[in-house]
Chain A
């Protein structure tokens, strides 16, 4: 069972208004999701975003990640571009086995790593036969 599903019905824009100098819309950052017996690991690629630019919202079973790019454009003429220079946003639906109160995150070189611990009751347990 996939306990973290992409939330397709999430609203297309965050509650606060996008900054006017940014193009409208968001980039969907590529994600890797894996799991071990204790937690789910969600990795999102958001080059150009530092720790301060990350906003993680967990509401009910919905997890939304927002990455705001730092305005680090050199003071020079743009000759050619492939990056949309927009901010990043992606929403996921969490399964009931994720303990949302213990989610932790780290940001390194444009990759956000979210640790989503499985709740104690969802972890596999070995049952001893008494007697």
Chain B
């Protein structure tokens, strides 16, 4: 399974330094893995990406993405072949525009995260729920990719 690497986060760092850190991480990443430039997930092209966890059981592949403070309607999920893409936009609340800002560590704006699922799944049987800021996407494995028990004939 191939998964895009997560950006290292630097909470507590002022915004301009955060940007520098991001660029430095990006450069580190290019040296560590020269082919990563070819990956569409390079953070030069995206503001932020949620952290994800992937689970698998007999019938499902379960993807959990940390997306705190969103509206359900602002999350999009799509499947193309075996590539699952979670995208959307986290919007600033209007009340935040007035007054002074002392600390700003949360990311807002558009995001996109794609991952290749380890097995073929049935696009018609994908279920998603959003609770406590965590998106859970359950993908039912297609019949062909489920493990089968083969009986030994006597």
Measured CB to CB, the residues of A under 8 A from B are: 2-4, 6, 28-37, 40-41, 43, 45-50, 70, 72-83, 85, 108-111
Contacts and interface: CB of A to CB of B under 8 A. Distances in A.
B102 A110 contact: no
Taking residues whose C-beta sits less than 8 angstroms from the other chain, chain B's interface range is: 35 or more
Given A47-B67, A111-B69, A34 B132 contact: no
Contacts of A30: 9, 11, 105-107
A31 B56 CA distance: 32
Contact of A34 (B55, B70, B102): B102
Contacts, number: 121
Contact of B100 (A35, A46, A49): A35
B96 interface: yes
A28 B1 CA distance: 29
Nearest to B72: A109
Given A108-B69, A110-B134, A34 B51 contact: no
A79 B133 CA distance: 21
A120 B131 CA distance: 38
A82 B96 contact: no
